[in-house]
Structures are given as structure tokens and as C-alpha cells.
């Protein structure tokens, strides 16, 4: 009874955090997307200049569909800018483009949190797939093993919980990576004269709004992990009482 009530509360909190963060970043993008830069450089121009000035010559700049779908793909060596950013000369667009280049610079500099996040990607993907099967196998073993003292099923389920928790670790590592990419973006934009000092506060607000989505993602991941842990503990606790 209490578990289901807690679950509902956690889901509502997570949904609210996600919706609020998404609304803020879209609102900021539309507000500062209507403010052209004095330099009139587009997202593509910004990314290209910053890459070349940063001594990076093997990364291409591409275009992808959608809004705020911008991302850096290290294995394909490309910075993909969304259609709304690629050819647009607004403060929001150059800030987003510079942020993605910030990730390129992190890789080039060997920024430790970036390296950790990159290493966690395959492990997290595997962990998310194995978490639930391991919990279910653990529960099945707990049902089948005759010895009342056997903890094999429980420990196996806890391995599943730990694997599920990798997504929270990934979100935790992602936050400083994104904040640092924004810090690098602001510095590069001013150093290269793409934004004037008077325009930087607007870029700040755009990038801060985007950073809040990662804060919301971390909190959401942690709450879902707590919910999953409580569910597993409740399952095995109920078994032990019977």
C-alpha cells in the first residue's frame, strides 16, 4: 500500500521536474532565438570557426532535423546542429552551437569527467537491459531454492538493482560535463568575437536553462532508482514474511 503511494508521488515529482525543465529551455530558446547577434554569424559559422580556431580539423559540422536535437557524435566525428540552429544567427543558436563544440574541446583536452561519461555509455546500456531480468531471475531462484536461509536470489536481484543504478551514476557524471561545455562555450564566444559582452548574459540564460534539464534528469534518475530499490526490497521482504 505504502509502496504504491510512494511510487505515485515519485512519478508525479519526476514528471513535474521534467516538464518544468523542458518548458524553461524551450521558452529560453524561443526568446533568445528571436535576438540576432551583432556578428550575424549562424550556428554553422560559429561551430566551424570555433573548431578551426581550436585546432580541430577532423570534425565536420552537419545538420539534423528537429529543434534542440543538437549533439556531438565523437565516433562519427561530427557536430550535428538542428535545423533551427544550423542556419540561424540568433544568440540562442550560436550558444547551442558553441556548447556542442565545447564537448569537442573536452575530448581534445582529455577532460576527465568527459572520459568517464564516454566509458560509462556501453556499461550503462548493458546494465539497463540486464537489471530487470536479473531481479526476476533472483525472485525465481528465491521461490525455487528450498533452503529458507539461502540468499542467492536476493543477492542476484541486488546486482540487478546496482546495474539499474548505473543510469543514475551516468546522470551524475553528465552534469559536470554539460556545465563545463557551457563554460567553454561562453569563453570561446567572447574570445572569438562572435558575441559581444552585452550579448553574453542572454547566452548565459540560454545555457543555464539547458543545464537545468540535466539537473532534472539527475534528480529523476535518482528518484526512479529509489523506487526500483524499494520495489525489490518489498518483493523479497514480502517473501521472507510468508
Alpha-carbon distance 93 to 222, whole Å? 31
Alpha-carbon distance 219 to 175, whole Å? 11
Closest CA to 64 of 41, 48, 46, 87: 87
- Grid coordinates standing for 172? 551524475
Q: Which H or E run includes 50?
A: helix 43-53
The alpha carbons of the chain give a radius of gyration, in whole angstroms, of: 22
Closest CA to 225 of 174, 167, 186: 167
Q: State the catalytic residues.
A: 100
Cα 87 → chain centroid: 25
Q: Are 37 and 199 in contact (CB under 8 A)?
A: yes
Buried b / exposed e across 224-240, counting CB within 10 Å, b at 16+?
Answer: bbebbebebeebbeeee
Alpha-carbon distance 58 to 94, whole Å? 21
Q: Are 81 and 98 in contact (CB under 8 A)?
A: no
Amino acid at each position: 500500500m505504502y509502496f504504491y503511494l510512494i511510487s505515485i508521488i515519485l512519478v508525479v515529482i519526476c514528471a513535474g521536474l521534467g516538464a518544468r525543465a523542458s518548458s524553461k529551455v524551450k521558452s529560453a530558446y524561443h526568446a533568445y532565438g528571436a535576438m540576432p547577434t551583432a556578428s550575424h554569424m549562424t550556428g554553422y559559422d560559429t561551430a566551424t570557426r570555433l573548431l578551426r580556431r581550436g585546432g580541430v580539423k577532423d570534425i565536420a559540422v552537419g545538420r539534423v532535423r528537429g529543434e534542440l536535437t543538437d549533439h556531438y557524435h565523437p565516433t562519427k566525428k561530427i557536430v550535428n546542429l538542428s535545423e533551427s540552429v544550423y542556419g540561424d544567427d540568433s544568440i540562442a543558436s550560436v550558444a547551442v552551437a558553441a556548447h556542442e563544440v565545447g564537448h569537442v574541446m573536452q575530448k581534445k583536452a582529455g577532460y576527465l569527467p568527459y572520459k568517464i561519461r564516454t566509458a560509462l555509455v556501453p556499461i550503462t546500456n548493458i546494465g539497463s537491459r540486464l537489471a530487470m531480468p536479473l531481479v526476476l531471475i533472483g525472485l525465481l531462484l528465491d521461490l525455487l531454492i528450498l533452503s529458507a536461509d539461502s540468499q542467492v536470489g536476493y543477492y542476484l536481484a541486488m546486482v540487478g538493482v546496482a546495474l539499474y543504478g548505473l543510469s543514475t551514476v551516468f546522470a551524475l557524471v553528465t552534469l559536470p560535463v554539460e556545465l563545463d561545455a557551457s563554460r567553454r562555450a561562453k569563453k570561446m564566444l567572447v574570445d572569438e568575437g562572435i558575441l559581444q559582452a552585452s550579448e553574453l548574459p542572454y547566452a548565459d540564460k540560454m545555457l543555464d536553462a539547458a543545464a537545468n534539464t540535466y539537473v532534472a534528469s539527475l534528480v529523476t534518475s535518482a528518484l526512479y532508482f529509489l523506487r526500483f530499490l524499494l520495489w525489490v526490497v518489498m518483493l523479497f521482504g514480502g517473501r521472507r514474511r510468508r
